[in-house]
Amino acid sequence: MERPKGTKDIFGKQAAIANSIVEVFSEVAMLYGFNQISTPIFEHLPVFSRAIGEQTEVVSKEMYRFQDKSGRDLVLRPEGTAGVVRAVVENKLYVTLPQRFWYFGPMFRYENPQKGRMRQFHQFGVEAFSAEKSAALDSEVIILAADALTLLGIKYQLQINSLGSLTTRAKYAEALTKYFTNHASNLSPVSQQRITTNPLRILDDKVDRETAAVKGAPVISKYYSSEDEVYFKSICHLLDQVDIKYTINPALVRGLDYYSDITFEFVSVSEAAGAQSTLLGGGRYNDLVSMLGGPALTGIGFAAGIERLVNELEENYDDDEVILRPDLFLLNLNESAPLVPLSLVTSLRRHGFSIDWNYQPLKIQKAFERAERSKAKIYLIYGANEQANKTVGVKIGNLQEQVKISALVKYLDKKLEELESEKE
């Protein structure tokens, strides 16, 4: 039996790195006032088709869509934003504003798998809702992403763009359709199909964007209203103030239809990323909440691809660094009373020590081999003599002494502290 194409079993070093990524992102998000939200992995079809847009690749080609036994049309979530917006509307989570949420979990897209592009992948995301759009809130969301990536030691290039208001975007799409209709013969068949359905996407097509036809296409800034322009400039100004470096990329249109105003992507600068180099992407959505039946709230957010971030960090870690190293290993040597140490092990765990042991008693030589493999910091030796004397042999490096069980917790606390300070 094999796992389905485009999925991955995550264990060992990769699991440890993924956990620390989520830990860092969630801690930074909480510093910025974001609370956790979890939404279902499947939703009713319209949540995604309406939010993301029927013409997008995600909705038209990549959704895992199925009917349940009662004939409900359901979708495995391809992204997190639409579900969070649905939850905000359904639970009326807008009585006080702004509202800020973070989430983490698996997402599903039927894509052609390659490095960094999976059919099941994980995102950490944030979404912030406010009554009016706010350049300060937008900047905070971008700074949050930059802070988390920096804490993780990931180098990136930040690209930003503005799609202006929905009216601006519609005018621009019209201009692009006109332009690309005249240059259709220079475009790939996929882009030709997008000329009328989704002309903005032609701009970031990996192949076509290198062609003269796309390079010569009208740029969106020409279609900004003065309000669009002022708003975009104020975000740039705020990012300058906190020394966040960015490049303005007028072709950054993103693959989901709900965006207006600011869009951004944090792109990898390492070779490890390969072709799928966008680590984190997001932007503002001013009309999505009302499109899903809610009040006129505006939103801004991003999602980071956990597998892509793991790829970035994997080379920096030795297996030893990320695999759990217990404080203690108990060598269980008493063959006539094999399970007696269980209560000692349990009591030590309840005192907060991490501990591994050989629950099948072993001869001393074999037990030491197991202890060494565990890489525990301190070895405890427990045989018939220790049981009779209510003691434990404690071995740290080459030193060994017998310690009364009644004094063991205090003794181990002290020794582990000493070991820790020696390391520093």
Distances from the Cα of 161 to the Cα of 52, 134, 254, angstroms: 19, 16, 10
Give the orientation angle of helix 12-31 with respect to helix 306-314, to 10 degrees: 120
Tell me how long the chain is: 424
Among 53, 283, 294, 341, which residue interacts with ligand HAM (rule: CB under 6 A)? 283
Nearer to ligand HAM, 281 or 361 (CB): 281
Nearest residue relative to ligand HAM (C-beta): 305
Q: Report the candidate in 388, 193, 155, 394 with the shortest Cα–Cα distance to residue 273.
A: 155
How far apart are alpha carbons 285 and 398 in whole angstroms? Answer: 63
Give me the least distance between CB of 68 and ligand HAM, in Å please: 24
Nearer to ligand HAM, 15 or 416 (CB): 15
The interface with ligand HAM within residues 66-85 (CB under 6 A) comprises 79-81
How far apart are alpha carbons 193 and 191 in whole angstroms? Answer: 5
- Assess 278 for contact with ligand HAM (CB under 6 A): yes
Give me the least distance between CB of 77 and ligand HAM, in Å please: 10
How far apart are alpha carbons 143 and 411 in whole angstroms? Answer: 46
The interface with ligand HAM within residues 118-147 (CB under 6 A) comprises 118, 121, 123, 125, 127
- Assess 117 for contact with ligand HAM (CB under 6 A): yes
Stretch that binds ligand HAM, among 110-118, 142-150, 244-252, 414-422 (CB under 6 A): 110-118
The interface with ligand HAM within residues 298-327 (CB under 6 A) comprises 301-303, 305, 307-308
Give me the least distance between CB of 278 and ligand HAM, in Å please: 4
CB contact set of 249 (below 8 Å; sequence gap of 6+): 159, 160, 161, 265
* DSSP per position, 132-189: S--HHHHHHHHHHHHHHHHHTT--EEEEEEE--SHHHHHHHHHHHHHHHHHTGGGS-H
Give me the least distance between CB of 80 and ligand HAM, in Å please: 6
Site residues, ligand HAM (CB under 6 A) = 79-81, 109, 111, 116-118, 121, 123, 125, 127, 255-256, 278-283, 301-303, 305, 307-308
